[in-house]
Amino acid sequence: MVGAVIDLFCGVGGLTHGLILEGFGVLAGIDNDPSCKYAYEQNNRTRFIEKSISEVDGRELNALYPNNQHKILVGCAPCQDFSQYTKKSRTGTKWQLLTEFSRLIREIEPDIISMENVPEVRTFNRGEVFNNFIQSLEQLGYHVSHSVVHCPDYGIPQQRDRLVLFAAKQGVIKIIPPTHTPENYRTVRDVIGSLPPITAGGHWEGDSMHAASRLEDINLRRIQHSVPGGTWADWPEELIAECHKKESGESYGSVYGRMEWDKVAPTITTQCNGYGNGRFGHPEQDRAISLREAALLQTFPRSYQFAPEGQLKFKTVSRQIGNAVPVALGRVIAKSIKRFLEGLHERQRVRIII
């Protein structure tokens, strides 16, 4: 086991799963959303603690860590307050969870910390929240580094940019170099092209997650006139919504759109199962992408289960998938930490020999 990890704001376990795949032992995941418990424990075989971070005490987490392992704390504080998708309304209080993350770091003093979030976290409230977080780490003696990751550069098949922060007391952790270039980005076709065809409102008997939302008659007609990469401007006049005909609606070109087979997908959001919520139309079938397709584009394994058989709820699972850290990004974070630890151990070995 490379190190012992506790995952804050763990959700259904995207970050946890990436860490486990790279050999880290994850002691527990903490989240206040009870709907995530089944998927987290079922797929990761580790403990889910249903609790708000504000109610967690550092002493109870310290008690989970073994004495002979690097103590690692990771997490992705809910990003709705920071995200560009909600920038018109910044009245939320979820940003305060970053302060709670900072408090737990002070109480635990882990060897290594990693945080994943949207890039906009750096400029929220004129940068005050993020800068305070970094200053609190530096005051505790951590070396802090952070960078914005363009997810396709690491084999994640969607237009997603994420900020990844590392902190360690024994040196600077740098993110591993990109593994892909635009010439070999993983595309929608690479990831979901082999799944059996289904209809809107239908599902594949071999996988309850490969199910698509129903479409109202007008939306079925709209998607029948949609082309990959196109917009609602491709439709006949009678199908165009009144709000899109207004000047204010002209900028919403990606809603009611189809994905393109040979490009990366758009950012998978919590409403990714809805055709009208973004460019979430299947490239050729007349439907929105299925829950399984959304999960695959978030790089969850095809075997990942989100709900017990017969208890699948579209809205809940769609939210879980959209909120998750892509598993492949979890692996990038894990590999970066692993490379740092290997270098640290090598330097310690050399000093011992000398």
Residues 69, 73, 15: CA angle, nearest 5 degrees: 105
Q: Does residue 151 carry a catalytic annotation?
A: no
- Per the prediction, the chain carries an average pLDDT of 91
DSSP H helix total and E strand total for the chain: 11, 9
- Which of 10, 36, 76, 79 is an active site residue? 79
**Tokens matching residue 164:** 């990844």
Cα 165 to Cα 163: distance, rounded to the nearest angstrom: 7
Place of tokens 């951590």: 142
The per-residue pLDDT for range 284-306, each reduced to its tens digit, is 999 999 999 999 999 999 999 99
Query: Which segment of 121-125, 126-130, 242-246, 323-327 scores lowest on mean pLDDT?
Result: 242-246
Cα 268 to Cα 159: distance, rounded to the nearest angstrom: 8
Residues 307, 8, 19: CA angle, nearest 5 degrees: 75
- Angle (deg, nearest 10), helices 14-21 and 327-353: 40
Tell me whether residue 6 is exposed, middle or buried, using C-beta atoms within 10 angstroms of its C-beta: 0 to 12, 13 to 18, 19 or more.
buried
Evaluated on CA atoms 310, 208, 307, 313, the torsion sign reads negative
Place of tokens 């065809």: 197
Task: Find residue 4's DSSP bridge partners.
Answer: 25, 71
CA 152 vs CA 179, 184, 260, 337: distances in Å:
9, 9, 15, 20
Say yes or no to pLDDT of 248 above 50: no
- CA neighbor of 111 nearest in space, from 6, 245, 265, 189: 6
Whole-number pLDDT of residue 249: 47
CA 123 vs CA 83, 84, 119, 163, 271: distances in Å:
10, 11, 8, 12, 25
Report helix, strand or coil for 294.
Answer: helix
Phi, psi angles (nearest 5°) of residue 169: -85, -15
Can you list the domains of the chain with their CATH numbers?
4-180+326-353 (3.40.50.150), 188-323 (3.90.120.10)
Say yes or no to pLDDT of 352 above 70: no
Whole-number pLDDT of residue 88: 46
- CA neighbor of 175 nearest in space, from 136, 148, 143: 148
The per-residue pLDDT for range 79-116, each reduced to its tens digit, is 555 455 444 444 556 668 899 999 999 999 999 999 99
pTM above 0.85, yes or no: yes
Task: Answer whether 324's CB lies under 8 Å from 298's CB.
Answer: yes
Cα 125 to Cα 27: distance, rounded to the nearest angstrom: 34
Say yes or no to pLDDT of 351 above 60: no
Say yes or no to pLDDT of 164 above 90: yes
Percentage of residues in the chain having pLDDT higher than 70: 90
Say yes or no to pLDDT of 220 above 90: yes
